[in-house]
């Protein structure tokens, strides 16, 4: 089960949309397997009066598993539609960085470097960035 979770997360972190879909399906199956393990031993169907309550199985994990299957199916269908539309428009299955993404990334690095230069002070004893700044008391 842990291997399914790990493989699902690893596949979802890829650039290929098909691998993202496969990773999502692996995560859905791992969640269903977890719910089946939590369910415990199978028991008698939980009908009123059919058997003593200690012999009945808990219906909540079964309902959660069914709900998880439906949600996984719906999201998988949506992802498959997105992948198909992406392939129709660009004939590619991978997500690429465009020029604007690269410019934003480079601008962020330059801004961080300039902030580092602005915050450095001459003395090592300074505990604030406002060394040598004249301040005035607040008056109302």
Q: What single-letter DSSP state applies at residue 96?
A: -
101 burial (CB, 10 Å; 0-12 / 13-18 / 19+) is exposed
Domain map (residue ranges) of the chain: 2-90
Alpha-helical (H) ranges within 56-95 are: 59-90
2-90: CATH number: 1.10.287
Per-residue pLDDT of the chain (140 residues; tens, 9 = 90+): 899 999 999 999 988 888 999 999 999 999 999 988 888 777 777 777 777 877 787 888 889 999 999 999 999 999 999 888 888 887 766 777 778 878 877 876 666 666 665 555 555 555 555 566 666 666 66
Report the residue count for the chain: 140
Q: Is the pTM of this model over 0.85?
A: no
Give me the phi and psi of 17, to 5 degrees please.
-70, -30
């Amino acid at each position: 089960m842990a291997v399914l979770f790990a493989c699902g997360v690893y596949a979802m972190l890829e650039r290929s949309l098909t691998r993202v879909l496969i990773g999502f399906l692996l995560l859905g199956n791992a969640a269903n397997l977890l719910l089946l393990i939590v369910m415990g031993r199978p028991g008698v169907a939980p009908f009123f009066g059919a058997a003593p309550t200690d012999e009945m199985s808990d219906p909540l994990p079964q309902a959660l598993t069914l709900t998880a299957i439906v949600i996984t199916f719906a999201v998988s269908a949506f992802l498959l539609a997105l992948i198909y539309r992406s392939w129709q428009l660009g004939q590619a299955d991978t997500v690429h960085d465009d020029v604007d993404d690269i410019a934003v990334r480079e601008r962020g690095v330059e801004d961080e470097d300039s902030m580092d230069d602005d915050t450095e002070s001459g003395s090592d004893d300074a505990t604030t960035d406002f060394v040598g700044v004249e301040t005035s008391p607040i008056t109302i």
